[in-house]
Amino acid sequence: MYRLIRPLLFTLPPETAHQAVFGMLGGFGALLGAPPRERPRTLAGLRFRGPVGLAAGLDKDGELAAFWPRLGFGFIELGTVTPAPQPGNPKPRLFRLSESGALINRMGFNNGGVDALVERLQRLTDRPCPIGVNVGKQRTTSLEDAAADYATCAQRAAPVADYLVVNVSSPNTPGLRQLQDASSLREIVGRTTDSSLGKPVFVKLSPDLEAEALEEAVAVAERAGAAGFIAANTTLSRPEGLGPRSAEAGGLSGAPLHPRTCATVAAVRRATRLPLIGVGGVHSVESAQALLDAGANLIQLYTGLIYQGPSLVRTLHEALP
């Protein structure tokens, strides 16, 4: 069915199509029936229903938290959320590169605030898989005060989250990636961990970090109490052949990101034995397996789901070892 409606959706602006799909799924999600059989994994003390997760960014405010497991996701990650609501960057801020299976976004942490997400998750009557909450800093908060924002979000979200994710790698909040520097990252991870009520804290890293900086970030975060890592966020790089739309500012996701993701996953794995989730460019069984071969324990989807449709989730869920 998705193959039939995708051409229509792709005539709409990307963010409008996103909202339309959310409306449809919210109304008809129950028609999907039961989720596929479990393919359990245990990681960071959590039991994941399967190897394929929903990446942060698609459902920032948890509007469809009850729906995603029906597709076959073994875990879902919501957010990024900030201490207070914020509108994000001006529209348009999401762009398709359809021939490349890619997106460029400069959303800017648009979300309804951590308290709204917490209230929504408190109303969930069924939690068939782990739910992660990805947290960030308010756009107006200085870099010097950023750790307080992460700690605030962690403290509020921890009672309803199974794990937390420190997002210091989005390219769309000015200066945010500077928080991957050793001194900033040490304080942010430490304070987030202290506020997490014992829930595992993952750190999401950029694929654009140089090798030495990436290795240092992993070591600093591990010493500060991180339970694991997510590699990687979107990239500011632009591989050749993407077309004129690739000149849009923002982070690139989708198939062209995949080689860089594999390299980042492999580099993180060389630097740590902690749990590692791979995300970026997964669009097939082969691309998912490549991240596992590079050292990831689990994988996540976002852009691949937009282009391939919901069937990709179950295909990966059943095919991955």
Cite the active site residues. 170
**C-alpha–C-alpha distance, residues 277 and 298, integer Å:** 5
Phi, psi for 70 (deg, rounded to 5): -65, -25
Kindly state the DSSP code that residue 287 receives in the 8-state scheme: H
Q: For residue 301, which of 277, 276, 266 has the smallest C-alpha distance?
A: 277
Burial class (CB in 10 A: 0-12, 13-18, 19+), 22: middle
Burial per residue of 160-195, b for 16 or more beta-carbon CB atoms within 10 angstroms, e otherwise: bbbbbbbbbbbbbbeebbebbeeebbbbbbbbbbeb
Structure tokens at 50: 């399967």
Cβ count near 223 (within 10 Å): 12
